[in-house]
């Protein structure tokens, strides 16, 4: 039987390809993997212990926090600080950034932006949820406290991005700008093992993912695109299939593997979109492009947008190259008539 390659072995192998690498970044990824295992443990026993349901508090977004939101946020923050390589964190669950500049983190070079538990409102009904993260090199001097400008970097400056999906199996998917690799947690080993090397998304597919309950509030171009997806056309393999879970990680993961497009356009209630640029759209866009797909906002390519606030919202379209280009074509045409 061929030996499984663990996440740590894979990280070390990649590090060996860069003679200038010091191991700091590898250590950071290692601790992200540990935090993921902690959250996975709690998700898997959520029906057996008092960790389901609302926490009784709201996060900065005005959304009621679930108990698992709070746990996941604390687990990742603890592990990132314990790594000694993270000098600051921007989290969906915290109004302001958190900085570390003493002790182990005195010489830390990296900042992390994260959504600790995406789709957590679905956890009570056993639907897949996930964690999304992005990693940047700090801009401010090492040894000092991280500043806001360290976090307000364009997505194109990311060092790495990834997500963990907690479902029928738990997977960690990440990129450092050299393709996308997926690791599945082997419960018997307690390790993430390489299961999906060099993931490439199909150029096109048959799945479109959007909350069609908001149809009347969508831009005309998106309404027309949905009708296009539903029309029968043998040449373009239509009609497409509508699949929407309501968890960005779960929807994107399925579409990346099978071929599809995820859409969260502007609506009457959310004219700038609803998803957050720093810790949802940027990391997913980086992964999408590295897998051969595309990601854009109505304001332009996601990775080229200049963030103005840590909880900034944008419109978001990501997935298979040809499908994303078709969405853009519909938006551009109907925006110009």
Q: For the sheet containing 316-319, what is the strand order? A: 241-242, 207-209, 260-264, 316-319, 294-297, 300-301
* Annotated binding residue 274: yes
Q: Is the peptide bond before 154 cis (omega within 30 degrees of 0)?
A: no
* Annotated binding residue 280: yes
Dihedral sign, Cα of residue 120, residue 121, residue 126, residue 127: negative
* Annotated binding residue 64: no
* Annotated binding residue 120: yes
Is the Cβ–Cβ distance between 272 and 218 less than 8 Å?
no
* Annotated binding residue 92: yes
* Annotated binding residue 118: yes
d(CA 290, CA 209): 20
DSSP 141-158: PTTSPP-HHHH---GGG-
Sequence-distant (6+) residues with CB within 8 A of 148 are 97, 310
Residues at the binding site are: 92, 115, 117-121, 211, 244, 274, 280
Residues at the binding site for Mg(2+) are: 92, 115, 117-118, 280
Residues at the binding site for substrate are: 118-121, 211, 244, 274
């Amino acid at each position: 039987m061929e030996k499984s390659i663990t996440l740590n072995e894979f990280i070390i192998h990649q590090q060996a390809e860069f003679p200038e690498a010091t191991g700091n970044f590898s250590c950071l990824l290692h601790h992200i993997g540990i935090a993921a295992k902690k959250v996975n443990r709690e998700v898997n026993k959520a029906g057996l212990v008092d960790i389901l349901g609302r926490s009784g508090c709201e996060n900065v977004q005005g959304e009621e926090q679930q108990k698992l939101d709070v746990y996941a946020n604390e687990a990742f923050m603890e592990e990132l600080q314990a790594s000694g390589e993270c000098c600051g964190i921007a989290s969906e669950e915290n109004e302001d950034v958190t900085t570390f500049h003493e002790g182990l983190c005195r010489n830390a070079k990296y900042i992390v932006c994260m959504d600790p538990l995406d789709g957590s409102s679905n956890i009570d009904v056993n639907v897949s949820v996930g964690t999304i993260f992005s990693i940047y090199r700090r801009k401010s001097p090492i040894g000092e406290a991280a500043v806001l400008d360290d976090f307000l970097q364009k997505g194109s400056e990311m060092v790495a991005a990834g997500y963990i999906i907690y479902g029928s199996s738990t997977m960690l998917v990440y990129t450092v700008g050299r393709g996308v690799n997926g690791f599945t947690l082997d419960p018997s080993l307690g390790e993430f093992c390489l299961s999906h090397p060099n993931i490439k998304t199909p150029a096109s597919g048959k799945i479109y993912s959007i909350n069609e309950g908001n149809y009347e509030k969508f831009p005309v171009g998106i309404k027309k695109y949905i009708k296009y997806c539903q029309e029968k056309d043998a040449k373009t393999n239509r009609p497409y299939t509508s699949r929407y879970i309501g968890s960005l990680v779960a929807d994107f993961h399925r579409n990346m593997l099978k071929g599809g497009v995820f859409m969260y356009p502007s609506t009457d209630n959310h004219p700038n979109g609803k998803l957050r640029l720093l810790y949802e759209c940027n990391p997913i866009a980086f992964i999408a492009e590295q897998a051969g797909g595309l990601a854009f906002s109505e304001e332009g390519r996601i990775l080229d947008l200049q963030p103005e606030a840590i909880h900034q919202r944008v419109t978001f379209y990501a997935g298979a190259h040809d499908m994303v280009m078709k969405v853009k074509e519909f938006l551009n045409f109907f925006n110009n008539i």
